[in-house]
Amino acid sequence: MAATVTLEPAGRCAWDEPVRITVRGLSPGQPVTLRTSLRDENGALFRARALYQADADGLLDLARAPALGGSFTGLEPMGLLWALEPEKPLVRLVKRDVETPFAVELEVLEGHEPDAGRLLGRAVLERHFLRPGMRRVPVRAGRVRGTLFLPPGAGPFPGIIDLFGSGGGLCEYRASLLAGHGFAVLALAYFKFEDLPEYLDDVHLEYFEEAIDFMLQHPKVKGPGVGLLGFSKGGDLCLSMASFLKGITATVLINSCVANTITPLHYKDMFFPSLGSDPGKLVVTESGVLIFLDIWDNPLEELNYQSIIPLERAQGPFLFLVGMDDHCWKSEFYARIASERLQAHGKDRPQIIYYPGTGHCIEPPYFPLCRASVHTVLGQAILHGGEPKAQSRAQVDAWQEIQTFFHKHLSGKKSVPSSKM
């Protein structure tokens, strides 16, 4: 082929690791189109493209050359990943089998699309979810169902329990990537998986207490406590765990409510109703996408006060990551309630990071934005919100903040190496 595509690092690399893409052997100032494509495990196709111009030496370095058009514009070295869009609408890119990589095909075409010509060069980016030497251990201990990811080495390692939201099942990709940064991470299922309840009904905290005990008794997990990482419904469950259970050192919430949501919560002789909602405030767009933002009642109203989680009982610090364009619920409002409640009880103000233009699903770096997708339980499309470029920046920053927070509070490290390009 006429051009040579170089990837740094060459060969395999982790999904959350930046890669430098350069193209050599072009003509001075030559216009080219770069295209990427990826198929997920279900065969769904995702694509992105960008228009570029080689420099005076016939070199194209995506770390220095701005995109002139296509799926994005400007200097975006990782744009050909985070700008991937599904061929069919409402499909979210999710890694189901973390033991296999995503293969991203990269093509260099002569000229600018739609008038691009012959293929000049190609390469394949192997994006892995298990770094070399890591171990994936299925967990079926008592009632606990999940997967434990262990870094290479003797350990013990600071431990984290990772919870996703109301879609159910077992999501491993965030836990596997986080374990690549020196943590023992348990991806924990709590419904719609194997012999767990099929539906999210009447949650009991004793199940999560058992998961904490499993982690703290594991020889590869460093005590005296574990960290919690929760997204959406998993976030308010983490708040409840931190408030009522022992052995929690630090908690990170991604677009979480400050009240118990969706289903009642039980612990011993205590009962917490779910936050009220008004289905009449559900908005349905012309394309049939549901917007849940305004259906939730105000937790501060007296009728809903019993659903508020007493997070002032927690012993460890909190980090709230808030998408300012979250269309699922009012994450910014809930984080403010949490901060005010903690301070009213003489506790330290939580760390809150607000991300403008960012929707509900704050993923690990380089996952493309999914503004709307079909909910796995509801079977209908819901709007998450977000703007692609802002979302991509937020996800890189949030990933760094999560690692820094947990390293500081679980292992005493003050900082971690930056993964930003």
Q: What is the pLDDT of residues 229-288, one digit of tens each?
A: 999 999 999 999 999 999 999 999 999 999 999 999 999 999 999 999 999 999 999 999
Quick check: helix, strand or coil at residue 23? strand
Surface-to-core class of residue 352, CB atoms within 10 Å of its CB (0-12 exposed, 13-18 middle, 19+ buried): middle
Q: Under a CB-based contact definition with an 8 Å cutoff, are residues 410 and 228 in contact?
A: no
What is d(CA 314, CA 349) in angstroms, rounded to the nearest whole number?
A: 13
Q: Under a CB-based contact definition with an 8 Å cutoff, are residues 321 and 401 in contact?
A: yes
pLDDT at residue 251 in the model: 98
DSSP 28-59: TT-EEEEEEEEE-TT--EEEEEEEEE--TTS-
pLDDT at residue 421 in the model: 45
Q: Residue 1 pLDDT more than 70?
A: no
Q: Residue 416 pLDDT more than 80?
A: no
Distances (CA, A) of 388 to 331, 364, 370, 383: 19, 14, 9, 14
Closest CA to 320 of 338, 344, 343: 338
Which residue among 181, 218, 360, 407 is the active-site one? 360
Residues sharing a CB contact under 8 Å with residue 371, sequence separation 6 or more, in sequence order: 359, 383, 384, 385, 386
Per the structure block, which two tokens stand in for 384? 């998450």
pLDDT tens by residue, 327-379: 999 999 999 999 999 999 999 999 999 999 999 999 999 999 999 999 988 88
pLDDT at residue 412 in the model: 79
pLDDT at residue 404 in the model: 98
Closest CA to 230 of 319, 159, 308, 341: 319
pLDDT tens by residue, 136-194: 999 999 999 999 999 999 989 999 999 999 999 999 999 999 999 999 999 999 999 99
Which residue among 16, 236, 325, 326 is the active-site one? 326
Please report where in the chains the tokens 């006060």 appear, as a residue.
305
Give the rounded percent of residues in the chain with a pLDDT score beyond 70: 98
291: pLDDT confidence band, cut at 50, 70 and 90?
very high
Which residue among 176, 232, 274, 373 is the active-site one? 232
Torsion of Cα atoms, 384 then 386 then 392 then 397, to 10°: -90
pLDDT at residue 381 in the model: 93
- Bond preceding residue 9 cis, omega within 30 of 0: yes
Residue 198: alpha-carbon gap to chain centroid: 24
What is d(CA 301, CA 312) in angstroms, rounded to the nearest whole number?
A: 19
pTM given for the model: 0.96
Closest CA to 78 of 5, 21, 9, 120: 21
- Alpha helices, H only, 245-372: 331-344
Q: Residue 420 pLDDT more than 60?
A: no
pLDDT at residue 12 in the model: 85
Verify whether residue 326 is a known catalytic residue. Answer: yes
| Mean pLDDT value across the chain | 95
Which is more confident, 111 or 420?
111
Q: Taking the CA of residue 90 as centre, how many other CA atoms within 13 Å lie in the half-sphere pointing to its CB?
A: 13
Q: What integer is the mean pLDDT of 298-308? A: 95
